[in-house]
Structure 1
Amino acid sequence: MILLRSNLNRPRVFFVAALSSMRKAFFGLAMTSAVVNLLALTGSFFMLQVYDRVIPGRSLPTLVGLGIIAGTLYAFQGVLELIRSLLLLRVGLSVDERFGKSVYESLVLLPSRIQTPGDGLQSVRDLDTVRGFLSGPGPIALFDIPWMPFYLGLCFLFHVWVGVTALAGALMLVALTIMAEQKSRQPAKEAAQLASERFALAEATRRNSEAVLAMGFGHQLGRKWSEVNCRYLDNHLRSTSFTISLSTLSKVLRMMLQSAVLAVGATLVIRQEATGGVMIASSILLSRALAPVELAIGQWKGFVRARDSWSRLIQLTQLMPTGLPEIMLPRPADVLKVENLHLAAPGSQNPIVRGIAFELRAGEALGVIGPSASGKSCLARGLVGLWQPIAGAVRLDGAAVSQWDPQLLGGHIGYLSQDVSLFGGSIAQNIARLDPDASSEKVIAAAKAAGVYDMVVQFHDGFDTIIGERGSALSGGQRQRIGLARALYGDPFLVVLDEPNSNLDADGEAALSRAILGIRARGGIAVVIAHRPSALAAVDKVLVLANGRAKSFGPKDEVLRRTPQSEPVAPARLMVPGEETAQ
């Protein structure tokens, strides 16, 4: 079956296409800015006419007519200014709408591809920064600055010395803008790094608050927080103080230039080389010409942050997978094959798991044992596609795991990690993997397969029980059993369980064994990472790892007989529940 996919699903192409789709909006902004800047001449020409025509002629009807015309033009300008601001707000929201999904997908995909610094949420903050800048006054200055030569040209038309004075002031403000760019670039990068470090420490403190409070080392974290926060505030103080200083200097300079133009104009009037209207109109015109530059200097810090954020978003999309398959592969149902698998931590080329190779058929279950740091959890991550192989492959029915769209592959895989993290919401939502269209039958079937149905219905609200963020309302064993039900939801072909019995009591371990037997009975494959012998009760094959390499693989009884007693593995013979009766 061919799954048609638009090129928009490819992130880099998506960015280009999205920007192209906003060209009309930017063109509309440019045209609106052009009309606004032309209407901004209203004040200058109104004063020119008042001083050169109304006052000498003492004509009130002319003044009234000019006032009506000026008022109409001012109202029209105000409407256009409002439209331009609202359009910029829509552009900012459009950027968030278009790129928000890609940013969220990066939170899911990239941690398994690269080492993400800080708290891993920099991309979200970057998107907020870009949207906030586009929705603010900063872009208005960028649209108005190209009109500065037009205003300066009009000053030269009034008189050459008026134009020279205006040009000198414009050059000084442009020099301040260049200085703002040079001095704010590095502090902006440091601010992003410090903010990420600050948020990461705050999140780690919140996540481990119980341990911090119980063992009384909050003051240690407090000192570390003070150190990080002081560096962040120092950077903020330096960068903001510089921006404020430049903004104040530009404002004072603009007022001085207005007075200078008035002085030049007054000199020209005294020498009868210009009229009083030219003197006043030149001052207003200069103010309008320099206003965008002054605004740009005041907003330059935000511009630099938005530019750096945009650059990071572009780099983010380049790290995202681009070659999504066009063919929807059939549901795997036969074999899991691991070929010379080498795995390394995201962003590293130093293998943790080396040369692992084995094959499992439908209905088989594998127990993976070995000492701590032998690579068991790394292998589990590689089997479900979280870590990309640096060599070798993991294949389902002959096709490498990478050939599946991650979202489609997830429907064929169940995974229970060591650190079971649940989402805020109900038990049913967590079991159903947050699927809004999940049927009650599938949720209940997964709960029964995991042996948690009786436990769940004992709660006051049953499957609708709200468990809190990260499942805080549940015990460790309850979280693990709900996580097992989530792994079994939808009857996935491959189920990988990493230390599934670490928090379970005897009843929970018996339910785990029945769940593994259920996977085998329906033709699935189970891989169980284990330290405790009871987790191996329902498996038929065992893989022993040591230092990231396969030490032994084969039928359970045969491998366990060859395994030295010093290793933390099961006894030579484990009875599967019900096996003795069956025999």
Structure 2
Amino acid sequence: MSGPSSSSARQNPLQRTLRRSKELLIAVGLFSGVINLLALTGSFYMLQVYDRVLPSNSIPTLIGLTVLMALLYIANGFLDFIRVRVMSRVGVRMDNDVRASVYRAIRMMPLRFRKSGDGLQPVRDLDTIRGFFSGLGPTALFDLPWVPVYLLVVFLFHPILGVFALFGAIILVTLTLLTEQKTREPTMSAVHSASSRYAFGEETRRNAELIHALGLGDRMLARWEKLTAQHVTDQMTANDAASGIGSISKVMRLFLQSGILGLGAWLVIRGEVSPGTIVAASIIMARALAPIETAIAHWRGFVATRQSYERLSKMFDTMDIHGDEQELVALPKPTASLAVRNLAIAAPGERNPIIHGVSFSLKAGDGLGIIGPSASGKSTLARALMGIWQPLTPAGSVRLDGAALDQWSPEALGRHIGYLPQEIALFAGTVAENIARFDPDATSETIVKAAEAAGVHDMIVNLPAGYQTKIGEGGVGLSAGQRQRIALARALYGDPFLVVLDEPNSNLDTAGDNALTAAIQSVRERGGIAIVIAHRPSALAAVDLVLAMGRGQVAAFGPKSEVLKDVLNRPQPVQQPEIQPVTTPEPVAAAPAKPGSDVTSQPATALATQNGRMKTPAKPTASLRPVATPPAMTAVPADPNLPSFENVVSKQLLDRDRGGMQ
């Protein structure tokens, strides 16, 4: 296994792509050298015409020089054409090599860090880099090293002309450095404000119905106007800085070109240079200054590309994405057990655990219901079981058949698990594609089998185009109940070993509830493990075990009847006007359970867990509650039609904590 030092030495995808393109960049550099030498053609042609052809009146010499000049210009144009195409291919290669890593990063970022800003900024950064390689900016960079060569040629014509050209080059280089200083911060601010603007626009699009229903349109528009005004201001500041300095450089170039003509004429009058030198020096100096002026004109692109490169590199390094990860050993399909040991989980980017010390184990064929009050950690536990959120410490683990989840690749693990989250997420495509998880190798038989297992086949065939019905992003075009049932079919696709359903009946009617119960039972009968996070007792009809969560820990775990008896049927003493601890309550009969309920009417005792199974404590837990005189004990009946466990469970856990303090 590589140590930290070797890991830090690994190159991210951008660096590796540039290294792979080194040969192409060297070729572009060689082409640029030849192109810049051929760029001297015009100046030397004019020099020969003025100094050789005109004095001799030689037509053959003029024709020969003209033909040679034409051939050299053709070669120059061909090489420049090749150079631009090669640079464009470097940009495309970078996009091809890096885009998968960029997509992986934007998919993984919400799982590791708090989601903020524009999640698609990395895509725009990659587009910026590719566009830069396709423009004139890179060619100017390759031409800059040849500026001293042109200045040297001007010096060879006459030292005074060389000093004048050098003076002009220094002025333009100074303007280039000033452009860098003036545009760096505005360009960065413009990128950040654009990111905030895009993120708010996407949020508005997702919540369009809510904004319309609550009449938030004008208030959201005010926020949009504020963000847009900030973005436009930042962009205008960057444009003003770049265009202002660009205008100065343009005026300076025109002055230098005219100035060298006047200086050359003065030298001709003094007899120090020939007339052809005037034109030749002017052309060569213009060629020397052209790359600098081009760099100034494209400096905003340079800055934006550099910042995009730095952001992507930082993202890859932070996410530890290198694009050359070794393929994991393919493990056999899990068939036996799920084990959770000492699990502590925090939200992405946080260190404070939401759940901690969670341990339990299940075997093939088990069905587990998870109950508890809001914010007790139920959905967090579900995310951990799916491998979405990672354990805080190495001591915590989730294992299938003894193998930790990170021993599977996400793609391999996804084939063995099914997940129905609280917030149903369907994707733009057909119903069949969503059920099949967009598997290109999916067959009609496996898709229909999953739909039948979820009890949704009849509903689907009644849609306008059946399984080929197109649905929009998020399931637009379907009711909440239809989306939930199709998502259940997706969770069951491929007969996964572990199926986790988070509030799977929140939008279901009676028929949907019955189909859900049958689906959970079918998972257990085929040897899978079904885990249901429930707020309504009807969701637990097909499970045999229940785990109660409280304050991020396991409050109880064991057979369904015993846990529900403890949570829902614990006797509660009531007294007035003072609160008194009741340590030895008299036995009372609980209200009879309705037929079909697993909750018994026997007196309940506090639960504890040991080695993942239920254990009855040696003595009853004290309870606190105001009581009427004479003292009377009442029990909460176990009604399977209770709308929610939430209030009852949170009250009982609070009473238990209070009783433990007596």
Q: Which amino acid aligns with 1:359?
A: S
Given that 2:154 and 2:285 are in contact with CA atoms closer than 8 Å, whether structure 1 keeps it comes out as yes
Question: Are 1:376 and 2:378 counterparts?
Answer: yes
Q: Distance in 2 between matches of 1:316 and 1:195?
A: 19
Q: Secondary structure at the match of 1:342?
A: strand
Q: Secondary structure at the match of 2:470?
A: coil
- More off after superposition, 556-565 vs 437-446: 556-565
Given that 1:325 and 1:403 are in contact with CA atoms closer than 8 Å, whether structure 2 keeps it comes out as no
Q: Which amino acid aligns with 1:560?
A: L
> Once the two structures are superposed, what CA deviation does each residue of 1:39-67 show, in whole Å capped at 9, x if it has no partner?
11111111111111122222233222222
> Once the two structures are superposed, what CA deviation does each residue of 1:538-576 show, in whole Å capped at 9, x if it has no partner?
11111111221211111111111111469xxxx978849
Question: Are 1:290 and 2:292 counterparts?
Answer: no
Given that 1:325 and 1:404 are in contact with CA atoms closer than 8 Å, whether structure 2 keeps it comes out as no
> Once the two structures are superposed, what CA deviation does each residue of 1:99-155 show, in whole Å capped at 9, x if it has no partner?
111111112222111223213111111111111111111111111111111111111
Q: Distance in 2 between matches of 1:48 and 1:565?
A: 106
Question: Are 1:464 and 2:495 counterparts?
Answer: no
The 5 Å alignment of 1:198-213 reads 198-213=197-212
Aligned residues: 566
Given that 1:336 and 1:361 are in contact with CA atoms closer than 8 Å, whether structure 2 keeps it comes out as yes
Q: Distance in 1 between matches of 2:555 and 2:224?
A: 45
Q: Which amino acid aligns with 2:365?
A: G
The 5 Å alignment of 1:24-173 reads 24-173=23-172
User: 2:540 corresponds to which residue?
Assistant: 536
User: 2:502 corresponds to which residue?
Assistant: 498
Given that 2:339 and 2:398 are in contact with CA atoms closer than 8 Å, whether structure 1 keeps it comes out as yes
Change beyond 3 A, Cα 1:261–1:103: same
Q: Distance in 2 between matches of 1:68 and 1:116?
A: 65
> Once the two structures are superposed, what CA deviation does each residue of 1:308-332 show, in whole Å capped at 9, x if it has no partner?
1111111222214566553222111
Q: Distance in 2 between matches of 1:149 and 1:119?
A: 44
User: 1:262 corresponds to which residue?
Assistant: 261
Q: Which amino acid aligns with 1:333?
A: T
User: 1:473 corresponds to which residue?
Assistant: 477
User: 1:248 corresponds to which residue?
Assistant: 247
User: 1:512 corresponds to which residue?
Assistant: 516
Q: Secondary structure at the match of 2:495?
A: coil
Q: Distance in 2 between matches of 1:325 and 1:144?
A: 43
The 5 Å alignment of 1:307-318 reads 307-318=306-317
Q: Which amino acid aligns with 1:443?
A: I
Given that 1:423 and 1:430 are in contact with CA atoms closer than 8 Å, whether structure 2 keeps it comes out as yes
User: 1:558 corresponds to which residue?
Assistant: 562
The 5 Å alignment of 1:369-448 reads 369-391=371-393, 392-448=396-452
User: 2:275 corresponds to which residue?
Assistant: 276
User: 2:336 corresponds to which residue?
Assistant: 334
Decide which structure has the larger Cα Rg and report it.
2
Q: Secondary structure at the match of 1:367?
A: strand
Q: Which amino acid aligns with 1:512?
A: L
Q: Secondary structure at the match of 2:419?
A: strand
Q: Indicate the structure with greater helix content.
A: 1
Q: In the TM superposition, what is the alpha-carbon distance from 1:302 to its structure 2 partner? A: 1.0
Q: Give the TM-score normalised by structure 1.
A: 0.94
- More off after superposition, 49-58 vs 140-149: 49-58
User: 2:652 corresponds to which residue?
Assistant: none
User: 1:526 corresponds to which residue?
Assistant: 530
Q: Secondary structure at the match of 1:119?
A: coil
Change beyond 3 A, Cα 1:522–1:320: farther
Q: Distance in 1 between matches of 2:149 and 2:247?
A: 25
Structure 2, unpaired ranges of 5+? 1-5, 571-591, 599-662
Change beyond 3 A, Cα 1:79–1:19: same
Q: Distance in 2 between matches of 1:133 and 1:385?
A: 39
Q: Which amino acid aligns with 1:379?
A: L
Given that 1:11 and 1:102 are in contact with CA atoms closer than 8 Å, whether structure 2 keeps it comes out as no
User: 2:221 corresponds to which residue?
Assistant: 222
Q: Distance in 2 between matches of 1:292 and 1:66?
A: 27
Q: Distance in 1 between matches of 2:221 and 2:113?
A: 30
Given that 1:415 and 1:487 are in contact with CA atoms closer than 8 Å, whether structure 2 keeps it comes out as yes
- More off after superposition, 216-225 vs 346-355: 346-355
Change beyond 3 A, Cα 1:472–1:369: same
Q: Distance in 2 between matches of 1:574 and 1:380?
A: 31
Q: In the TM superposition, what is the alpha-carbon distance from 1:460 to its structure 2 partner? A: 2.6
User: 1:581 corresponds to which residue?
Assistant: none
Q: Which amino acid aligns with 1:265?
A: G
Given that 1:393 and 1:400 are in contact with CA atoms closer than 8 Å, whether structure 2 keeps it comes out as yes
Q: Secondary structure at the match of 2:512?
A: helix
Change beyond 3 A, Cα 1:11–1:313: farther
Structure 1, unpaired ranges of 5+? 1-6, 578-583
Q: In the TM superposition, what is the alpha-carbon distance from 1:388 to its structure 2 partner? A: 1.0
Change beyond 3 A, Cα 1:426–1:225: same
Q: Distance in 1 between matches of 2:470 and 2:359?
A: 43
Question: Are 1:488 and 2:492 counterparts?
Answer: yes
Given that 2:12 and 2:321 are in contact with CA atoms closer than 8 Å, whether structure 1 keeps it comes out as no
Question: Are 1:184 and 2:183 counterparts?
Answer: yes
Q: In the TM superposition, what is the alpha-carbon distance from 1:522 to its structure 2 partner? A: 0.9
Q: In the TM superposition, what is the alpha-carbon distance from 1:85 to its structure 2 partner? A: 1.5
Q: Which amino acid aligns with 2:299?
A: W
Q: Distance in 2 between matches of 1:530 and 1:138?
A: 59
> Once the two structures are superposed, what CA deviation does each residue of 1:242-287 show, in whole Å capped at 9, x if it has no partner?
1111111111111111112112211111111111111111111011
Q: Distance in 2 between matches of 1:550 and 1:357?
A: 8
Question: Are 1:365 and 2:371 counterparts?
Answer: no
Q: In the TM superposition, what is the alpha-carbon distance from 1:206 to its structure 2 partner? A: 0.7
Given that 2:429 and 2:472 are in contact with CA atoms closer than 8 Å, whether structure 1 keeps it comes out as yes
Q: In the TM superposition, what is the alpha-carbon distance from 1:11 to its structure 2 partner? A: 8.2
User: 1:4 corresponds to which residue?
Assistant: none
Q: Distance in 2 between matches of 1:544 and 1:564?
A: 11
Given that 1:560 and 1:572 are in contact with CA atoms closer than 8 Å, whether structure 2 keeps it comes out as no
The percentage of counterpart residues that share the same residue type is 51
Q: In the TM superposition, what is the alpha-carbon distance from 1:13 to its structure 2 partner? A: 5.5
Q: Distance in 2 between matches of 1:538 and 1:389?
A: 29
Q: Which amino acid aligns with 1:349?
A: R
User: 2:233 corresponds to which residue?
Assistant: 234
Q: Which amino acid aligns with 2:70?
A: G
Change beyond 3 A, Cα 1:309–1:259: same
> Once the two structures are superposed, what CA deviation does each residue of 1:76-105 show, in whole Å capped at 9, x if it has no partner?
211222221222221111111111111111
Q: Distance in 2 between matches of 1:15 and 1:459?
A: 47
Q: Give the TM-score normalised by structure 2.
A: 0.83
User: 2:650 corresponds to which residue?
Assistant: none
Q: Secondary structure at the match of 2:192?
A: helix
